[in-house]
Structure 1
């Protein structure tokens, strides 16, 4: 049986993290998870039976201090994490996704997606992609689009591969979780609006990324990225103060035990602050919203090996823990 829980070997940096958990047959509830894999029910600690993680993020300026105190309070009732099922840590109102934000990843995709009639060598196409990346960095224009909250699933849940998805692919990503509302914030202030960080695997069906019936329309992110369960999220939100500098975190994704992605956030074209600031220039970012920051090199298109029934993906990011999801083909 595929285990839908967490183990102490996959925890996080710092004294605590936020999670959404449930008993096997009970409702989901907000929890504080300690570094030694113990759980404090935050409904009881805050005296609010309707409390959710997003409520804490909406009052993050004061909630973080209280949560830190709770983590160190040995008098509070605690239960082992292994007693609970782990869900996606938060239900966002908005999901902001980033495309083409890791230099080597974009170069690999540019080479893999050879246009019909393009007879240039691989070296020529890689040089073209590198030039495009340099130009994008100079112009400071990240590429951000909208995802659907309904695509989010838990970090240990099975992922159903739709019958229509011909080329389902993985994309491990660092996610910034918004705490303070943000609108038109400068880069220098952007990180003060981030409560914490988590992990996402932004699955993509490569066969439906581009509209073949009307090429002039361009990308079709609704079809290619937003099937139910295409965004495994979590297992927890680790406070930004604990994570610290996000400019050199290691992202690793393994497929059936074989390492496919292994890259540092150093390879980002636009860092977290620039991504959050850019998204806020148009949208009003709200507490609990997610800003996915792009995926590094090593996707299935690069390896020539896409997802299929029975595959198991293990994804981890420095200090944020790990998730494990199994792929299940949709019944025809």
Structure 2
């Protein structure tokens, strides 16, 4: 069974957040989650039996004032969050993932991935990659690739480590949820296309990041990042207006109670607005799409300790709540 969240009513910023929840003998429903640990079924409150969180996001500008009204209405029929199952808050059509976006994280990874015959000292390697990161920032070149929605799982679900994954690793990060179609959006307007924020743990099998058969092919993000359940998401989508500055949030991951990642989003090379704008210059972002902003320092490669069965990851980001997932080893068929 999935592990239970440490705090079912984990605090978030603002008066409410959105989630997808279910109960025994009851299908999943979009919930208006209140800070006091109660939930309003939005299918009932809005009289839309087929409503989903993505459906709400698709009408974000229209529906947001109504959500505020419902959150303030004490007469609305609310139920305790305790006892409900929390699913991934949204089913996106597209997932855009930013890589190499935290300066210190990339420096640490470069040092950890050095080959045994690398002539550089640790200090030389760190200085070299630091210069590369500074140049990328100066030249305004984000790095973005595509993830699969099928890799998403709930914030308290077990994560199955595939039997082929030799070096599974954690990467907790801030995710932005797109509110409306966006194509060729200027940086100055990009945050207007963000409905809210949530937490993503973008797991990676480090052993399959680079192709072994032909180094010139480069990275293999399909193999290394997109196993089922490799992206625990949520628990909530917190409206953007409730987050004062997405560029100043604390990203924390604990493994079996020990802090591994604890860094501010200030260390990002490219913030949310820049990433949304950059992606939109090529692709058309759709309502409900996710933009993962990269992971800070403190991954398993840095610590020399990768994930294994029985590990429990607790991840939190300021104002967005917390997720807890347990790793289980795949049982061969």
1:49 counterpart = 2:70: no
Counterpart residue number, 1:263: 263
Counterpart residue number, 2:326: 326
| Structure 1 residues 156-171: aligned runs within 5 Å | 156-171=156-171
Counterpart residue number, 1:290: 290
Please give the root-mean-square deviation of Cα atoms over the aligned residues, in Å. Answer: 1.1
What count of residue pairs does the alignment treat as equivalent?
Answer: 332
Structure 1 residue 11: Cα displacement: 2.3
Structure 1 residue 5: Cα displacement: 5.0
CA distance in 2, matches of 1:138, 1:116: 31
Structure 1 residue 8: Cα displacement: 5.0
Counterpart residue number, 1:94: 94
Between 271-280 and 151-160, report the one with greater CA deviation. Answer: 271-280
Between 6-15 and 226-235, report the one with greater CA deviation. Answer: 6-15
Structure 1 residue 154: Cα displacement: 0.1
Structure 1 residue 62: Cα displacement: 1.2
Counterpart residue number, 2:110: 110
| Structure 1 residues 125-140: aligned runs within 5 Å | 125-140=125-140
CA distance in 1, matches of 2:57, 2:116: 48
CA distance in 2, matches of 1:254, 1:295: 14
Contact 1:6 1:86 (8 Å CA) reproduced = no
| Structure 1 residues 1-332: aligned runs within 5 Å | 2-5=2-5, 7-8=7-8, 10-115=10-115, 117-332=117-332
Structure 1 residue 315: Cα displacement: 0.1
CA distance in 2, matches of 1:20, 1:67: 15
Q: Secondary structure at the match of 1:282?
A: coil
CA distance in 2, matches of 1:130, 1:59: 42
CA distance in 2, matches of 1:117, 1:237: 46
CA distance in 2, matches of 1:27, 1:103: 43
**Unaligned ranges ≥5, structure 1:** none
1:133-156 Cα deviation digits (max 9, x unpaired): 001001111000000000000000
Q: Secondary structure at the match of 1:322?
A: strand
Q: Secondary structure at the match of 2:236?
A: coil
CA distance in 2, matches of 1:8, 1:210: 38
1:21-68 Cα deviation digits (max 9, x unpaired): 000232111010001010000001110100000111011011111100
Contact 1:236 1:320 (8 Å CA) reproduced = yes
Q: State the 4+ residue runs in structure 1 displaced beyond 2 angstroms.
A: 1-9
1:196-253 Cα deviation digits (max 9, x unpaired): 0000000000000000111000000000000000000000100000012111100000
**Unaligned ranges ≥5, structure 2:** none
What is the TM-score when the length of structure 2 is the normalising length?
0.98
1:260-315 Cα deviation digits (max 9, x unpaired): 00000010010110011101111100000000000000000000000000000000
Structure 1 residue 9: Cα displacement: 5.3
Return closer, same or farther for 1:257/1:326 CA change in 2, 3 Å cut-off: same
